Amino acid sequence: MNNQINQQLHALAESDYKAFNEKLIPTKYAILGIRMPALKKLAKELATNPNVETYLENAEFTTYEHILLYGLVLGQLKKPSLETVFRYLDPLILKFDNWAHVDTIISSLKIFGKYPEEVLAHYLPLKTDEGEFTKRTFVIILMDYFINETYIEKTLKHFSEVPQGQYYVDMAIAWAMSVGLIKFYDNTLPLLEQKAFSKFVHNKSIQKARESFRVSPVIKELLNEMKMK
């Protein structure tokens, strides 16, 4: 099955897109250059294949796209159990070495929205893990599935407790904080007032929120005045 998948991936590769992604995505993995719609289409075909478990058990991870494909297949599985997703995703997370792996795959796992308590408990250890992209994974899980009425206060507390100082972690926190400011301004603003983050995260959170068309000019000006000098 791996040989067939490799052939399909290489057939979808585009040299121009490969060059574009190599500039955009810092990764140790070779990049083939496959556009996301084509990769998602292949993932859907694999997820509905009767032999999908054979793929999940024996997949290879030799390129950037191999890892993306595997994660996208997990997101396309028909009525999987949460335990099944955990089983295959947990070792995959340890292979993430760039922001695109994290952001693309985590956003595809819609099952996480159905089992928030279980997901949060399972991935809480990632919050203080040493790895840059394991911590980013935790932040992106929170951003994608826990910025809502039920979890906003708990989520904001977690954001403030994630160890800072690694670029892709800090950028994830800032991005997530900007989403908090957009969706739950009154809940999120106190963390900025308390200066709960480093100068970089604080100011980047404000910048990203001010770039949103969903934030009013008045709020944008108020946020601008809160930037750390």
CA dist., res. 155 & res. 48, Å (int): 34
pLDDT at 14: 98
User: What angle do helix axes 167-183 and 99-108 make, rounded to 10 degrees?
Assistant: 40
pLDDT at 179: 98
Residue 1 has pLDDT above 90, yes or no: no
pLDDT at 26: 97
**CA 88 to chain CA centroid, nearest Å:** 16
- Predicted TM-score (pTM) of the model is 0.96
pLDDT tens across 104-127, in order? 999 999 999 999 999 999 999 999
**CA 177 to chain CA centroid, nearest Å:** 14
Residue 209 has pLDDT above 90, yes or no: yes
Alpha-carbon distance values, 133 to 14, 92, 102 (Å): 27, 11, 7
pLDDT at 35: 98
SS3 30: strand
Residue 30 main-chain phi, psi, to 5 deg: -65, 140
CA dist., res. 144 & res. 156, Å (int): 13
Residue 2 has pLDDT above 90, yes or no: no
Kindly report the three-state secondary structure assignment for every residue of 31-63. CCCCCHHHHHHHHHHHHCCCCHHHHHHHCCCCE
* DSSP 8-state secondary structure symbol assigned to residue 114: G
pLDDT at 188: 98
pLDDT band at 200 (very low <50, low <70, confident <90, very high): very high
